[in-house]
Amino acid sequence: MRMQPNAQFDGQPVPEGSATIAIELSEASVTFGRGDRAVPALSKTTLKIADGEFVALVGPSGCGKSTILRLVSGLVQPTSGVVIVGGREVAARAMRVGMAFQNPTMLPWMTIERNIMLPLKIVEPFRPKFRKLRKTEFRDKANALLEQVGLKGFGNRYPWQLSGGMLQRANLCRALIHEPRMLLLDEPFGALDQFTREELWAILQNLWMTHKPTVLLVTHDLREAGFLASRICVMSARPGRILDDSRVEFARPRTVAMTFEPDFVALNQKLRAFIEDARSAAEQGAG
């Protein structure tokens, strides 16, 4: 059951084919701590995500959504079960995926451009070429991404000169600069106001449609999940399990106006019902 220590996703594109599985969790459980103080975070979760899919994980807080992200990125090892990413078992090594959190964590002493290039300084095959190409090819790459998220010309600004929404866009650029096959987003827009958030949904949709990475998005916002995802997984309260797994078939590119149409609202309500059930079940369990 244990994995080979050197197995790692090398960042190479997975072979073409619609049925290629990018992420596979089988009976994966995670327990933090040991003995009496053990906290089960995820229980026997099975989930298959195809290459290029956009999957949203929703559920009550503390249900293990972030734990799934951390499993896929290699930051956490499953206590039992198997996690296969990019055709290989996740080992002790990280998976070179792009990640973005609610907090944009741009380094304040670097310009936005250099912040975005940071992954190139670390990830193979860019790493050995970083010193040589950081002023030419890599910088162009960073600026091309910045342009795509509407931040053209902001590359040489410092993080404190940008608003929260702009920083979060830069954060998405940083997560994508090394062309990862997988993008893991943990409530990336949670701290933004409604309008900025909707603006960033469109930007993220656009990035996904052009770069086609496999995306795993953790969110509390059901409209966000419906707008962005091609598939939504609802999770139960701690320890998390997947309760419902449904496809979202709305045509792309989706617009904010669509989120007020009856079909969309119906989907929203269905998801809401699942989460309410999960929450009340958790409360009964606790009481």
Q: Which residues of the chain form contacts with other proteins (CB under 8 A)?
A: 8, 70, 73-75, 93-103, 105, 107-109, 118-119, 121-124, 154, 157-158, 160-163, 166, 174-175, 178, 184
For residue 55, give the nearest of 193, 253, 235, 202 by alpha carbon: 235
Residue 102 DSSP one-character state: S
Measured from the CB of residue 11, what is the shortest distance to other proteins in angstroms?
A: 9
* Of residues 284, 187, 281, 283, the one with CA closest to residue 243: 281
- CB burial of 87-114 (b: ≥16 within 10 Å; e: otherwise) equals eebbbeeebbbbbbbbebebeeeebbbb
Q: Using DSSP bridges, classify how beta strands 39-50 and 231-235 pair: parallel, antiparallel or unpaired.
A: unpaired
Residues, the chain, total? 287
Q: Could you write out the DSSP letters of every residue in 137-151?
A: HHHHHHHHHHHHTT-
Q: Which residue, 79 or 103, has its beta carbon nearer to other proteins?
A: 103
Reference 188, options 179, 177, 197, 180; nearest CA is 197
User: Which residues fall within 8 angstroms of residue 141, CB to CB, at 6 or more apart?
Assistant: 117, 120, 177
- Measured distance CA(42)–CA(31) in Å, rounded: 7
CA dist 40 and 222 (Å) reads: 25
Q: Between 83 and 278, name the residue whose CB sits nearer to other proteins.
A: 83
Closest distance between other proteins and the C-beta of residue 261, in Å?
35
The least distance separating other proteins from the CB of residue 93, rounded to whole angstroms, comes to: 6
In angstroms, what is the minimal distance from the CB of 52 to other proteins?
Answer: 20
Could you tell me the smallest distance in angstroms from the CB atom of residue 104 to other proteins? 9
